[in-house]
Amino acid sequence: MQPNIRPTREPVLFQQLSHVQALEANVLGGIIKEKDALTSVIDILKSDSFQDERHIAIYQSILALFGKTEPIDLLTVTNQLRQNGELEFVGGASYVSKIMANSTVAHIEQDARIIVQYAIRRNIVKILDVVKNKAYEDTTDVYGLMDSTEQSLREIQEGNLNKNIPELSAVVQKTLEEIKNKSDQNAEHSNVPSGFPSLDRITGGFHNTELIIIAARPGMGKTAFVVSALRNAAIDFHLPVALFSLEMSAQQVMLRLISAEAEIDSQKLRKGELDKDEWHSLHSRLNNLSTAPIYVDDTPALSILELRTKARRLKAFHNIKMIIIDYLQLMTAGNIKQGMNREQEIAAISRSLKTLAKELNVPVISLSQLSRSVETRGGDKRPQLSDLRESGSIEQDADVVMFLYRPEYYDIDSLEDGTSTKGYAEMIIAKNRSGGTEDVKMRFIGKYTRFAEFDGFHVSAEEYEQQTGITIGSKANDM
């Protein structure tokens, strides 16, 4: 008895080969026949849009003539093919004459779009073939494979977008609409507020596509600051925020959030030593936190490829508005380049973070360590741009560089004007492409591991709007 063998079928893509060839021949023949036909398809078709190698050669000859502003007809195309040494390859002048005679320009633009669709299908098949082969190799970095696959598919999409040049009036109208939206206090925020009025007054919040570096020596409170900003964005402004914590676990991050939100000493929370009133406060004030759109990933030694893959998914599924990384020096470049020293690796990471911010159209905040040169310097030991650790490219890639400085950390009891340094902090804006550079006074509340406005723990919504011009739904900075 013969085994039941199902006959194989060629993919639909290849079954339609002759149909695609006919479409390609019709479009090329129409371009040669009708002098204005090229202008209707030149923004749609590229050389690699064609499947038939002969048609690729003919279209390249047409584009060469167009570039030289020479007429496009049977004689000029044939001569151009002859100059390129490809006339015999395409079937001679008789083949060019044949496709021109059998063509029609009635639906040439529609035919061109169908050709592009088949080209996209072919490219997808090629990508998936490569992915399938690499997926079987034990040496393949699967995160790198996913990242490169997404990148290749996105390049296909971007490469086939039909971008028409708008008229100036349309550009003016769009620009005016953007200005109106930014001036309308009821409009949706285009930037992510930090929730600190004094800081947002200068920066306007964290801007989309920008890379913001917040740097300090260990123990200054970098993580406490970004956790405070994360809390403000997610709870007060209801914006989805992602935190990639390479140093602390998700549970440790949550303890900090709970301490700040419930105003309970963080040490008590860690030990579980809460009295009755504190337990009541804990349960009554955590409703906002439990429903806040906060996403914490605590993967250690995260590579830039893993970060990009996870960030894209969070953007796709949760539409995150801001990404925070704690901290840059704990990341790895993965397989971006082999044989790099540490400085080159940090440079590759900072460039990739800036690229990610532009790709996802969100602000990316990355914490960074400062070099020990701060400690050896005399005076008040205020940090400066040259103190950025391991790579000057961080300063170059960043749109904003801010230093967190607490003189109390260096046993400095008072400032020059006599102000006590107990709980005193400054956010030094050392670089700001979108605005000025100033020093912002802040208050560090150590037992709650959080930052607040310098002049008071509570800021009303009205005061926040007056100081920053940013409208919020309820309260501003509940500190």
User: Which residue in the list 247, 278, 359, 395 is annotated as catalytic?
Assistant: 247
- CA–CA dist 404, 427 (Å, integer): 5
- CA–CA dist 412, 317 (Å, integer): 48
**Strand-pair partners of 425:** 442
Contact (Cβ atoms closer than 8 angstroms) between residue 348 and residue 339: no
Contact (Cβ atoms closer than 8 angstroms) between residue 48 and residue 119: yes
Q: Phi/psi at 189 (nearest 5 deg)? A: -65, 130
- CA–CA dist 41, 314 (Å, integer): 37
Contact (Cβ atoms closer than 8 angstroms) between residue 194 and residue 229: yes
DSSP state of 448: G
Q: Is 247 a catalytic residue?
A: yes
Strand pairing class (450-453; 458-459) = unpaired
Strand pairing class (450-453; 439-445) = antiparallel
Contact (Cβ atoms closer than 8 angstroms) between residue 74 and residue 96: yes
State both tokens at 24.
Answer: 């390609």
Active site (catalytic) residues: 247
